[in-house]
Structure 1
Amino acid sequence: MAEPKRPQVRETTVGEDSGGQRIDNFLLKRLKGVPKSRIYRLLRKGEVRVNRRRAKPEYRLQKGDIVRIPPVRTRDPAAAAKPGEWVLKQVEQNILYEDDGLLVLNKPSGLAVHGGSGVSHGVIEALRALRPDARFLELAHRLDRDTSGCLVIAKKRSTLRAFHELMRNGGVDKRYLTLVQGRWRGGKVEAPLRKNILSSGERLVKVHTAGKYALSLFSPVTLYEGASLMEVKLITGRTHQIRVHARHSGHPIAGDDKYGDSEFNRRMAGFGLKRLFLHAGLLHFTLDTTVHVEAPLEEGLKKILKALEGKNVA
């Protein structure tokens, strides 16, 4: 039996279809089966080069860039398992809106947006499996695995670029619902955020003077004894922004095992909460047409709110 070929250094020239894409996402697509933590390690160590220079994960490729991809053993795509029936069903049944350029999914909590970091498959892999003839399907933005709600997937490169430009210029209105600790009247939370990526690939975000500007607007929807249902409007879209801003304000989110309060989480678990209470409930923007989508809260979260009515959780 012939020995498998050793992986070789590859150089690829970025075409028009990949222009504007982040280098980490570009590599994830081309190095199938390589953990996300490994991708970040390759970038951090300078093994990946763009035009013979190091590139940070957030670098956006330009048409004509030459990317050096180091030799990395990858899983045979033909041997990769198909996303499970539960994942396929959740994606197929939760499409809220679709047109020629994009679709909006009501992503369930617990479903990753893409595979990697110990997750075999996510939304994007499931969509590609459901629509094998689609020429282009890419995430237009991200949601944490434990966050539910409106997620945009672009069906055209031109739509993806236009949506990103709209986000950069503040043209995408995103509203979230979240349950936080304490009775909170809300307000503007303006605190810079700095992201660290651990060797495991886990992202950890802190308020830091050297971080990127971040602004969230919290408004109370319902005040309970010891907890508040809040609507959050994102002015910027940093990693874990709502979760860190809520914690920074002294009102951590229920069910948040990374930035939350363990005692508050324990009390909320007593009411039946089994997940992060953060939901992207509304999305509004205009490209070729005006898109307004509202994603309903899942029944489990509605039951938590019903249980909190008239209860003292302080």
Structure 2
Amino acid sequence: MKQAKVNFIAIDEEAVGQRIDNFLLRVLKGVPKTRVYRIVRKGEVRVNKKRVTADYRLELNDVVRIPPVRVAEREAPVRPTDSVIAQLERSVLYEDDLLIIINKPSGIAVHGGSGLSYGVIEGLRQLRPENRTLELVHRLDRDTSGCLVIAKRRSMLRHLHNQLQQREKVEKLYHALVVGKWPARKQLVNAPLLKNVLQSGERMVRVHVDGKKSRTAFRVLDRFPNMTLVEAYPITGRTHQIRVHCLHAGHPIAGDQKYGMDADNQLQKQFGLKRLFLHAASIEFELPDGKRLKVEAPLPEDLAEVLAALKDQL
């Protein structure tokens, strides 16, 4: 092992738009991911002398302070299993020279860290070793399936981040099965959301007057006995937004172990539901040449079987 010194790095155009955690993982090769996330949480990493969270996006001329850390001379990279890599290969919905869009399988995190040795991005880097700058454009919860966009070039990453900041330029549609009869007149949930991290480290989000402005539009797609399939369009982009807004409306998402009711989740298992019924069904945005691209992700087989079982009850 070798002892590093305090290091200050000025961000150039090549790193603009990159998440601070991904930047650190690249710079601090040999440092365990858990250690990297720990120094960010503890505020030992500073950007322009200020604390930041792991999802902070680097800007041009930012100055990143990296504390002394013990760096392993050699560390064998954790390689996703062949089955995971094959699953990701089958999940590709669209690919060109600038980006990849996959139908992310449920149960796989978008990236490693916080106790996970790898995620989708690590698997894709293994699958596409010639693309050295693969970066996540956005995130999906581990249990959520559906459209996930990965940029192959930093220029594309910045282009899509600019569109995400102007929410009207990107349209994401989700399908969710919720508990109860969602009223047809309930077309918008407008409730501020506040993040809260428990002592266990688990991240929770709740509706609170001090939270950030959050809005989700809903449309009923189908009805079943005591269940409703809805389409959700997040007008803003907050952590766990759709899940908490459904809960706030009195209709938690089926299979939600974090925000749902245990009794409901147990009841839903009789229809074969084993996970959160939330699926990113489509995403649409503008390409650098001005053309619009829309990609749709078919409903995974496990969720389609749940709907079939519910229809048998009609």
Q: Check the 8 A contact 1:87/1:122 in 2, yes or no.
A: no
Q: Is 1:94–2:96 an aligned residue pair?
A: no
Q: Is 1:149–2:151 an aligned residue pair?
A: no
Unaligned runs of 5+ in 1: none
| Cα 1:40–1:52 shift into 2, 3 Å | same
| Residue of structure 2 in register with 1:194 after alignment | 194
TM-score (norm 1): 0.91
CA displacement 1:163-205 (0-9 Å, x = unmatched) = 1111111211100011000011242001111112345543211
CA displacement 1:138-160 (0-9 Å, x = unmatched) = 00000001000000001111111
Q: Is 1:169–2:166 an aligned residue pair?
A: yes
CA shift, 1:31, in A, is 4.1
| Residue of structure 2 in register with 1:50 after alignment | 47
| Cα 1:56–1:305 shift into 2, 3 Å | closer
| Residue of structure 2 in register with 1:307 after alignment | 309
| Cα 1:99–1:70 shift into 2, 3 Å | same
| Residue of structure 2 in register with 1:231 after alignment | 231
SS in 1 for 2:40: helix
| Cα 1:192–1:75 shift into 2, 3 Å | farther
Listed as ranges, the matches of 1:272-291 within 5 Å are 272-287=272-287, 288=289, 289-291=291-293
- From 71, 82, 85, the counterpart of 1:85: 82
Paired residues, what number? 308
One-letter code of the match for 1:117? Answer: S
One-letter code of the match for 2:157? Answer: L
TM-score (norm 2): 0.91
CA displacement 1:44-102 (0-9 Å, x = unmatched) = 43311223333344543222222111123456664123111121111111110112211
SS in 2 for 1:300: helix
Percent identity, aligned pairs only? 54
Q: Is 1:294–2:283 an aligned residue pair?
A: no
| Residue of structure 1 in register with 2:12 after alignment | 15
| Residue of structure 2 in register with 1:180 after alignment | 178
Q: Check the 8 A contact 2:2/2:72 in 1, yes or no.
A: no
CA shift, 1:35, in A, is 4.2
CA shift, 1:286, in A, is 1.6
CA shift, 1:220, in A, is 0.8
One-letter code of the match for 1:285? Answer: F
| Cα 1:200–1:21 shift into 2, 3 Å | farther
| Cα 1:86–1:74 shift into 2, 3 Å | farther
RMSD of Structure 2 on Structure 1 (CA): 2.0
CA shift, 1:130, in A, is 1.4
- From 121, 124, 128, the counterpart of 2:121: 124
SS in 1 for 2:2: coil
| Worse overlay, 234-243 or 189-198 | 189-198
Q: Check the 8 A contact 1:173/1:233 in 2, yes or no.
A: yes
| Worse overlay, 186-195 or 9-18 | 9-18
SS in 2 for 1:126: helix
| Cα 1:117–1:93 shift into 2, 3 Å | same
SS in 2 for 1:79: coil
